[in-house]
Structure 1
Amino acid sequence: MKGRTYAQSTAHHRPIAVAACVGLLLILLAAGGEAVAAPVTVTNGVQFTDTAGNVVRGHDGGMIKVGKYYYWFGANPHPDNRFQYISVYRSTDLHAWEFRKHVLTETSASGVKNLQRPKVIYNSRTGQYVLFMRKENHPFPLKENRVGIATSPTVDGDYTYRGDFQPLGERSFDVSVFQDDDRDRTAYLISTTGTGDEEQQQQQQNLTIYRLTPDYLEVAAREHVFYNVKREAQTMFKRNGVYFLVTSGLTGWHPNQAKYATATSIKGPWSGMANLGDSTTYGSQPTYILPIQGSSTTSYLYMGDRHGNAWHGNINDSEHVWLPLQFPTDRSLSMRWHPQVSIDTTTGEVSGVGSGHAYEQLRAQHKDECLAVRRFTDGPLLEDEDSRGDGVGVTQRPCGTAVASNQHWQVLHLGAGYYRIVARHSHKCLTVPSSSTADNARVSQAPCGTGENQQWKITGLPEGNFQITARHSGKCLTIAYDPATEGPKAIQFTCSGTANQRWKRAGAPY
């Protein structure tokens, strides 16, 4: 498991510290004298940390609000992705997360090897919180294809594992649950399903909505089937009498185009599936849509995971993308990228902060080719698949397509005008090795840390260009001039304003 990076300790903790200080001076009081949460800002594309400074394990998670607290349940596996815990955190403002408990463990769910996508709903008839999960074997291929259930009389107490099943005998892959606002608080299980013996992806051809029994522990009936859609990572919410179902395609850990469908009845008819966000859902996969009901409005927050497995890490390396949803009409949905999101749980107002692109190409002006991780310091060009290692150098190459993720960079603001520049394919940082201050020092990728040799100042220039300067040396990111060389190297060099030190920023192609 990797340690926390500079962005994790600053980009997330800095707002916590500011909110805490402001809270001491300007705490708002509700009519009954109860303190209420002040607005907070959450940074996208990073891991979140709890109030003790540990990484929040909210992967594949869902939330439930009980009283003034939002409870966040998430998968917390071993480094090999094998089941270890389902963990829960709570917060009043969706920013300062307090770890509460490992509600389900290897001991309390003895023999279970793989639990994913935990979601909780409350049954007022039985007084039980019911936790639903995807249950599988470990390691691959995943062949159990079952739904696991656990219950507890308290939201953040010890959950009792009640067993697992295949709904109406059908193989079940990714799962979610939805509780309606009707008189009976009817609950539904939404499952990626299949019955064949083909390869796993072929088995997952359908998406099925099942009505649960009144105690929420079994399936009562099949309500609707989306045939041959091949969708997973499903989450459902309801707004103004319209049901919205948001899903992801089947591309393993790699992000793809989210889609949504709508209906005014669970049984349908359902609309066709329309695109939501860009073609990689801003590098994320849906995990939950959270309604935030406040004194002024109710907003809907998209919660997505950037799975660490996508860059050859593990689930515990995963990061989060939270974005506000917009509703052009009662039955349509849209979502734009913002590097941060402002959340006010008191008023219910949620809004994006900033704009730009989830991933960018950086193009040197002199040749209009892309900054790419492709070369060892003194070695030959590497195949893209082999360019994830520590110390692999950075070069300039003809700009590629969506699959050329070694040319895609997350430009993450660290404050004070400095940025971390992270390669999408490896999740490693643009680095001046050994903090060299010399001209011609070659730039490479390395695991992200706190050093100023991984912090870059980006300064606007005329005609939409930018200068990118290493914080530790004050020298410019430069493409070494060598017209006879394929893939000239990226270096740092004294800033002079030449075209090989001027950069264009453009959205990465998807």
Structure 2
Amino acid sequence: MQIVGRGASKKFYPGEIWKDNNGVHINAHGGGVINYNSTYYWFGEYKSDTTSSAMVGVTCYSSKNLVDWTNRGVALAVSDDESSDIAKGCILERPKVVYNKKTKKFVMWFHLELKGNGYSAARYGVAVSNNVAGPYKYIHSGRVNPNIYPINMIGKDTVDVNSHYTDMMALKWWTPEWYDAIKKGLFVKRDLASGQMARDQTVFVDEDGKAYHIYSSEDNLTLQIAELTDDYTAHTGKYARMAISEMNEAPAVFKRNGVYWMITSGCTGWAPNKARLFTANNIMGPWKQLPNPCIGKGADLTFGGQSTYVLNVNGEFIFMADVWRPEHPSDARYIWLPIEFKNDKPIIEWRDSWSLSDFNK
């Protein structure tokens, strides 16, 4: 696919300070990008200097060329009302915005933890706007699909959740018996009434207009993929488990030539680890794991970053990752690298600098 137009030869410098139109390092972490009316909009977490808690909210930047970004301000502000789900000081992570062609509204999904409760809430949050840059209005948060079992937790390999449940919950963590119970749905049953946990997350809109919420669940042990309603603001009740008991987070999903791809990371807190790659012919699975897509120097630690999003640019793809700096959160950096396909598999190779015109080579 030919990449042409204004700024096609402008350079990206992965991992370096990335200044906006005001000369300030872009503050949009754990984010995602959408293209609307030939303009790109980057949404992400505003990080303060000393805390990773949400003291401002979700910021928005716009660009015509993906290199030069204009600060559009706060798209979703946290609330001064201490009773609000998104009270200032809550944890609000990995915001992703999608456009709904039917409702003509922009819908933002994010991972939400209630203020003062650590990571125990494990909720999703949703906000909507009539304007791409906002402001977004918070509408609700919660756990996923209460009282509904996943579509692929059926059959002989599923725990009889109505018998011996108490005994299974008493199993010692990380033992083979415990892993077996997890694979058969022990934590799905545990969270059935409240709904499934939702932490690191993304949203993917397929070519047919259907949208899906992909998130770390079951205490980050298993990824789940949940279908969204036609207006993209809630779940339909249809969902599936993948990479069961394998501890994945930071999902980034894209589709090429009818094949779905997902890049994730392991669960090592703020520290980087080796990226993981999955592929499927159906968004609901089954998903197959392939080797780490990163190659070259630093590949075993994803070049020091963690996946957050894959951006489709006219049929070419950009891998977006965050280099977290928890002691100085606002100084976290961004790694954007082109995804190449070799033997029909995605490859991400480190480059000190690159431009969109490199896709034409």
The alignment's TM-score, normalised by the length of structure 1, stands at 0.56
Number of the residue aligned with 2:329: 315
Q: Which deviations, in whole Å up to 9, do the C-alpha atoms of 1:352-409 show, x marking residues without a partner?
A: xxxxxxxxxxxxxxxxxxxxxxxxxxxxxxxxxxxxxxxxxxxxxxxxxxxxxxxxxx
Q: Choose from 2, 8, 11 the match for 1:41.
A: 11
Number of the residue aligned with 2:51: 80
Secondary structure of the structure 2 residue equivalent to 1:349: helix
Mark the runs of 5 or more structure 2 residues left unpaired by the alignment.
146-194
- Residue 114 of structure 1 deviates from its aligned partner by 1.4
- Residue 139 of structure 1 deviates from its aligned partner by 5.4
**Rounded Cα–Cα distance in structure 2 between residues aligned with 1:314 and 1:139:** 21
Contact 1:204 1:230 in 2 (8 A): yes
Bigger-Rg structure (1/2): 1
Would the alpha carbon gap of residues 273 and 230 (structure 1) be closer, same or farther in structure 2, given more than 3 Å must change? Answer: farther
Q: Choose from 157, 168, 172 the match for 2:134.
A: 157
Q: Choose from 250, 267, 272 the match for 1:250.
A: 267
Number of the residue aligned with 2:311: 290
Matched, 1:213 2:237: no
**Rounded Cα–Cα distance in structure 2 between residues aligned with 1:170 and 1:37:** 43
Aligned counterparts, 1:193-204, within 5 A: 193-194=217-218, 203-204=219-220
- Residue 190 of structure 1 deviates from its aligned partner by 0.1
- Residue 140 of structure 1 deviates from its aligned partner by 6.8
- Residue 272 of structure 1 deviates from its aligned partner by 2.2
Secondary structure of the structure 1 residue equivalent to 2:207: coil
Aligned counterparts, 1:137-176, within 5 A: 137-138=114-115, 141-168=118-145, 169-176=195-202
Q: 1:341 corresponds to which letter in structure 2? A: W
**Rounded Cα–Cα distance in structure 2 between residues aligned with 1:139 and 1:281:** 32
Q: Which deviations, in whole Å up to 9, do the C-alpha atoms of 1:214-247 show, x marking residues without a partner?
A: 1111111334211112100001000000000110
Number of the residue aligned with 2:174: none
Q: 2:25 corresponds to which letter in structure 1? A: V
Number of the residue aligned with 2:351: 338
Number of the residue aligned with 1:135: 112
Pick 1 or 2: higher relative contact order, CA cutoff 8 A, min separation 6: 2
Q: 1:268 corresponds to which letter in structure 2? A: G
Number of the residue aligned with 1:305: 322
Number of the residue aligned with 2:178: none
Contact 1:208 1:222 in 2 (8 A): no
Number of the residue aligned with 2:359: 349
Matched, 1:92 2:64: yes
- Residue 317 of structure 1 deviates from its aligned partner by 1.3
Matched, 1:57 2:27: yes
Secondary structure of the structure 1 residue equivalent to 2:330: helix
Would the alpha carbon gap of residues 126 and 237 (structure 1) be closer, same or farther in structure 2, given more than 3 Å must change? Answer: same
Task: Kindly report the root-mean-square deviation, in angstroms, between the aligned alpha carbons of the 2 structures.
Answer: 1.9
**Rounded Cα–Cα distance in structure 1 between residues aligned with 2:141 and 2:32:** 19
Secondary structure of the structure 1 residue equivalent to 2:127: strand
Aligned identity (percent) is 32
**Rounded Cα–Cα distance in structure 1 between residues aligned with 2:139 and 2:343:** 42
Secondary structure of the structure 2 residue equivalent to 1:335: strand
Q: 1:119 corresponds to which letter in structure 2? A: K
Would the alpha carbon gap of residues 51 and 342 (structure 1) be closer, same or farther in structure 2, given more than 3 Å must change? Answer: same
Number of the residue aligned with 1:476: none
- Residue 315 of structure 1 deviates from its aligned partner by 2.2
Number of the residue aligned with 1:440: none
Matched, 1:114 2:91: yes
Would the alpha carbon gap of residues 111 and 264 (structure 1) be closer, same or farther in structure 2, given more than 3 Å must change? Answer: closer
Contact 1:342 1:350 in 2 (8 A): no
- Residue 265 of structure 1 deviates from its aligned partner by 1.0
Would the alpha carbon gap of residues 350 and 60 (structure 1) be closer, same or farther in structure 2, given more than 3 Å must change? Answer: farther
Aligned counterparts, 1:277-426, within 5 A: 277=294, 278-293=299-314, 298-309=315-326, 313-330=327-344, 332-344=345-357, 349=359
- Residue 269 of structure 1 deviates from its aligned partner by 2.4
Q: 1:251 corresponds to which letter in structure 2? A: T
Contact 2:222 2:247 in 1 (8 A): yes
Count residues with an aligned counterpart.
297
> Which shows bigger deviation, 110-119 or 284-293?
110-119
Secondary structure of the structure 2 residue equivalent to 1:171: coil
> Which shows bigger deviation, 223-232 or 66-75?
223-232
**Rounded Cα–Cα distance in structure 2 between residues aligned with 1:335 and 1:45:** 15
